[in-house]
Amino acid sequence: MFFRTGSLAFTPRIIRGFFAIGVALLCSGEIVAQNVSPSNPQLASPAIEQRVDDLLKKMTLEEKIGQLVQYNDAGFTEKANAAQLAANPDAHNQVNAMELAATGRLGSMLNTVGAEHTNTFQHAAVEKSRLHIPLLFGADVIHGFRTIYPQPLGLAATFDPDLVMALSHMSAEEATTAGVRGFYSPMVDISRDARWGRTTEGAGEDPYLGSAMARAYIRGYQGDDLSRPDSVAASVKHFAAYGAAEAGREYNTTDMSEIRLRQIYLPPYEAAVRAGSATVMSAFNALNGVPASANPFLLQKILRDEWGFNGFVVSDYTAVMELLNHGIALDAATATRKAFLAGVDVDMMSHFYDTQLPELIRSGQVPISAVDEAVRRVLRVKFALGLFEHPYARGTEVTAAVPEHRPLVRRAAAESFVLLQNRLSDSSTAVLPLSQQAHKIALIGPLADNSGEMMGAWGGANRLPDVVTVKDALEARAKQYGGSVIYAKGTEIIGTSEDGFVAALQAAKQADVVVMALGESGEMSGEAGSRASLDFPGNQEQLLEAVVSTGKPVVLLVFSGRPLVLTWAAQHVPTILEAWFPGTEAGSAIADVLYGDVSPSGKLPMSFPRAVGQEPLYYNQFPTGRPPFQADLTQPPGSSSRFVSRYIDVPNDALFPFGYGLSYTHFTYEKLGLSRSLLKLSETNRTGAEKLITATITVTNNGNRAATEVVQCYVRNLGASVEQPVRSLKGFSRVTLKPGESKQVSFDLGFSELSFYNEENQAVIEPTHYTVWVGGSSLATEEASFDVRQ
């Protein structure tokens, strides 16, 4: 309805059988690892298990398979699914979702939204089917349902998990009134390549930050009780390593060592699973040659055996069918068998499980015990959600942005903005915050008065009239101070016409200060939004250069779903604010920051490159045998400095690094201390090792206004059996300080912060030397060290 298809489907696959701690259970012919606790205790409830047992005994094979398929309300039609029909001839079999629901042959539906709409399908399932099993309605609610908050990459810039949890719960409150009880969210794929479009949906390049955000989403969506009517079942996606697509190209293959997989890419998924995520979505990509949706190493060994996942796994949109395109199956039956036995419980939109499983079962290629276990996983989630007691949409349907929710999304947007630059103007004062004496503001750019593009990708069920644009907010604020705004669009987001340049330059020349709103469209990021260029699209940079040439102070607002190349702007524009796609309260939040009501506190969750050729670019790189700091990089390429790990045409480092972000005040760091200088290896075992050493530092606000700083702790390990990154984030804390105020900030470092994966792919701590840095970015300079010895 209001959502793009292409994410997840809902029908469960709970972990191998009903877990009892320390007991191995037989599932689908495989043994679950011992001593692994179930990831979600609610799904392991004996009361729920008894209800599942009773219901399963009554189900026919057709009804069982029905729980393992997911469709939208359109079915497969030539108009709605041309791409799928072209790739999958079997999809020409028409699917009538209403008939399937009424006959007990449909378990869940995707992106079917709205109380009346969902209730109609639910009525068919609950009132007409033989066993009255309710449907689970899932939707791509990525960053808000009706009241839209910043896209996840922007939220990651807040470094504020509590805020993310509150926003996630808010979206669940709204969506459940429309019958939605499952979200295909959060996306926790680590992305180190800004070319990848789905960068916008995740938390960026760092596994520690990504894990913190993953936990926050799960706790916000699901709360502490799935049966609450305002809770939804989360689906962590895309499992696994989807964000490492080669060349940043959507749906492309991924290939990496198991050490890198476990140390960098898997932690956010694990964090979400251990936080209790009810479902997991398998990814489109192949990992090391095996498609993720037919990969028992991922779906069984890691997800279930090691992590104890006891929810269900749903494929991404037609991912089972796409096994044919991957080349690991020659027909629908083989694709179905490989996906199902690898661990995909629910087939989203491929139309394979319902057509192929019956014969696979009859022929003995798929054991009925495996089918029963997959159905159990789906039913457990439905019982846990309370769908059998309360199958219909709750309360009065939310059909517009909720006034009571606006303050929270406004705060979130303001916290997400990252002040990249705020140099002095000719008057020797920083351009921001704007003075109330700036009576004439020129507002220029294609995103200045563009409500639709404030949403970004996956904008939920938003209504454009609900959106506050930059123009709306600045005009209201300027009028409040007796000033005015001169607006000129200047150009289109994508275009080459310079017809609007004249009006834009005239506006700039009349103004005291110029605010330019440039960037991407929402469709340029998100799924299928990969880009080979990271520059401003169209002729926006030419417009920027022309306006800067007027000599007026310029504030550049960058709207994007990824890091862009801002090299020219960084050299010529005094003030740059990364605004991402802020959501419903975009303009209000921007006005709050521009006028100084809120001091920027956002920090970059991804490194911003100097040139697209640096991608993939990330701060936590591994060292090389010829590090560039050993050479004088000012020397020409032909000198002896050439033979180090460097580019000959651009510096190695990011233009704006991970964790970086300015404020309207100045923070200082001093007196970094460690609670110990030596750890014995025997102390570092897993049991009771949450706090091995504590780092403490004093942070002071040396400015003249209250502000919030994100204090960050980084660690490096030297002397290990496997080389480690030059530094890795291992802690962060948001600290609000009054002018002149100081606070001590501490970080506890335990096994999870100090361990790494060795050559046996085991998490270990070895006798090595550790360096700890604390500061306001990944360039933190306050340093201390300690050793681990036998």
Asked if 8 and 311 touch (Cβ cutoff 8 Å), the reply is no
What is the β-pairing status of strands 667-674 and 575-578? unpaired
Strand (E) or helix (H) holding 275: none
Asked if 583 and 150 touch (Cβ cutoff 8 Å), the reply is yes
Instruction: Please spell the DSSP secondary structure of 500-520, one letter per residue.
Output: THHHHHHHHHH-SEEEEEEE-
CA nearest neighbour of 320 among 287, 289, 288, 342:
342
Strand (E) or helix (H) holding 622: none
What is residue 327's DSSP assignment? Answer: T
90 an active-site residue?
no
C-alpha 766/C-alpha 65 separation (Å) is: 49
Quote the tokens at residue 71: 């469709």
**Exposure string (b/e) for 536-557, b if CB count within 10 Å is 16 or more?**
bbbbbbebbebbbebebbbbbb
Asked if 78 and 116 touch (Cβ cutoff 8 Å), the reply is no
Instruction: Please spell the DSSP secondary structure of 227-253, one letter per residue.
Output: TSTT--EEEEEEETTGGG-GGG-TT--
Catalytic entry in 316, 345, 347, 466: 316
Asked if 143 and 183 touch (Cβ cutoff 8 Å), the reply is no
Q: Please state the φ and ψ torsions of residue 262, each to the nearest 5 degrees.
A: -75, -35
Asked if 348 and 15 touch (Cβ cutoff 8 Å), the reply is no
In order of 314, 353, 637, 783, the CA distances from 640 in angstroms are 55, 62, 8, 31
Quote the tokens at residue 533: 């260029």
Asked if 783 and 771 touch (Cβ cutoff 8 Å), the reply is yes
Quote the tokens at residue 292: 């993720």
Residues with catalytic annotation? 316
